[in-house]
Amino acid sequence: QPLVGNLIGEGHVNYVLMYNMLTGIRIAVSRCQAKIRRPLTEEDYTARHKFSFDIVGNELTPSAKYDFKFKDYAPWVFRELREDHFHLDPADYLLSLTAKYILSELGSPGKSGSFFYFSRDYRFIIKTIRYSEHKFLRSILPQYYEHVKNNPHTLLSRFYGLHRVKLPHGRKIHFVIMNNLFPAHKDIHETYDLKGSTVGRVYPEDKAAQNPRAVLKDLNWINRGKKLELGPEKRALLTEQMRRDSELLKKLRVMDYSLLVGIHNMQRGNRDNVRSNTLKIFSPDMPAIRRKATQSKGPSSPEAIAMRRIMRESDPKRLGSGTFKLPEEDTGERQYFLFYQDEGGLRATDETNDGLDTIYYLGIIDILTPYSSVKKLEHFWKGLQADRHKISPVPPVEYAERFFRFMKAIMRSGDHGEKVEDDGNIK
């Protein structure tokens, strides 16, 4: 996978933060979950529930290893999103997010300084976000909710929860929980982060050759002559959904989002094709283990030691229950979503709608950046240097339209390269 991180255990720099996040989620989410469902009210969108954790504990919060404060935002709205619209099982959700030694960390893959953590079954991603993004998500929550309700197959990030941890010295960390677009069982052979912009949107090809997990960009896609191979049926459905999703983003005046595309080549399959029972049992760490196993250089190599440690730590007996399982792509929540139905993704098809040997994992990510004054400034400065339509920070309406045009184009042909070079816009 392009995203495989380091397992966070005790002693890791972010262990305490991790522990606090997960403890907060466990208590807050199960508290809300324990109540009887009721229809949402207007206040639910702005609600925030506060929890104060300490080593002693009280009637509201059990004792925790550390002192910290936790806020749960719009818990009822997210509960309804999870249960009714994202088809998550409440128990599963909590279990995935709150087991011991749970997450692996991927240090800031973007420029924004956000951190990404995976739940140990690889199903969920925790992303730390800026305060401005947090504020923005709260402000658009009613529209986001409506959109998801009316568009069950939306490609937009599925937000499952919005929370904040406050550490004793006052530092506040905001974070969202969202769907991992990439499945645990499948190797992703190529990853693209596409914005529909061409200026600076390239990952050096020489470096890409050495790094199969590189996240490639628009120009790599164009120069490699890539195409989303979808027959008329899927193409029409996907286009319509993208149109609706980008309409919303336009209306919300969001910028900078991208279409994330993971490509699994079925001929290549998974690197070692091993899905033995042993790996199944320790499946929460499977992606990491698989990698380590393939490069293992003997019983005392660092890889082997790490692998034994991971296996020990993920011993179901030590976790207290053996119920951990990797979601099967076709039985989990993904079965409900049109574009995630074929082994968790969207299988390529030919012009007669017959299946080809590629599976795409697609979604629109990073949708919480409003066109703020910062962006306006950036637009001004960059606009002095290059054709202002080709560069990334154009105002939201242009951004959405350019994005949608590009997305339509990548489904059409593999050779739209020149057209882009011509004028920066794909016709």
Burial class (CB in 10 A: 0-12, 13-18, 19+), 129: buried
Q: Kindly write out the interface string for residues 214-233 of this chain, putting x where it contacts ligand ATP by CB under 6 A and - elsewhere.
A: -x------------------
Backbone angles phi, psi at 121, to 5 degrees: -90, 5
Of 95, 85, 74, residue with least CA distance to 32: 74
Member of 14, 33, 112, 151 binding ligand ATP (CB under 6 A) = 112
Distance of CA 245 to the CA centre of its chain: 17
Give me the least distance between CB of 343 and ligand ATP, in Å please. 16
- Taking CB atoms, the residue at the shortest distance from Ca ion is 366
Is 109 among the residues that bind ligand ATP (CB under 6 A)? yes
The whole-angstrom separation of Cα 327 and Cα 324 is 9
Q: Which is nearer to Ca ion, 105 or 366 (CB)?
A: 366
Binders of Ca ion in range 333-372 (CB under 5 A): 366
Binders of ligand ATP in range 260-299 (CB under 6 A): 260
Q: Kindly write out the interface string for residues 123-152 of this chain, putting x where it contacts ligand ATP by CB under 6 A and - elsewhere.
A: --x---------------------------
Q: Which is nearer to Ca ion, 73 or 116 (CB)?
A: 116
Residues facing 116 on adjacent strands: 106, 127
Stretch touching ligand ATP by CB under 6 A, among 77-85, 96-104, 143-151, 178-186? 178-186
Q: Which partner, Ca ion, ligand ATP, none, binds residue 90 by CB below 5 to 8 Å per kind?
A: none
Give me the least distance between CB of 256 and ligand ATP, in Å please. 6
Q: Which is nearer to ligand ATP, 33 or 132 (CB)?
A: 132
**Paired tokens of 218:** 């628009």
Q: Which partner, ligand ATP, Ca ion, none, binds residue 111 by CB below 5 to 8 Å per kind?
A: ligand ATP
CB 66 within 8 A of CB 315: no
Q: Kindly write out the interface string for residues 18-57 of this chain, putting x where it contacts ligand ATP by CB under 6 A and - elsewhere.
A: ----------------------------------------
The two beta strands, 254-255 and 369-370, are antiparallel
Is 181 among the residues that bind ligand ATP (CB under 6 A)? yes
Note the residues at the interface with ligand ATP (CB under 6 A): 2-3, 109-112, 114, 125, 157, 178-182, 191, 193, 215, 260, 363, 365-366
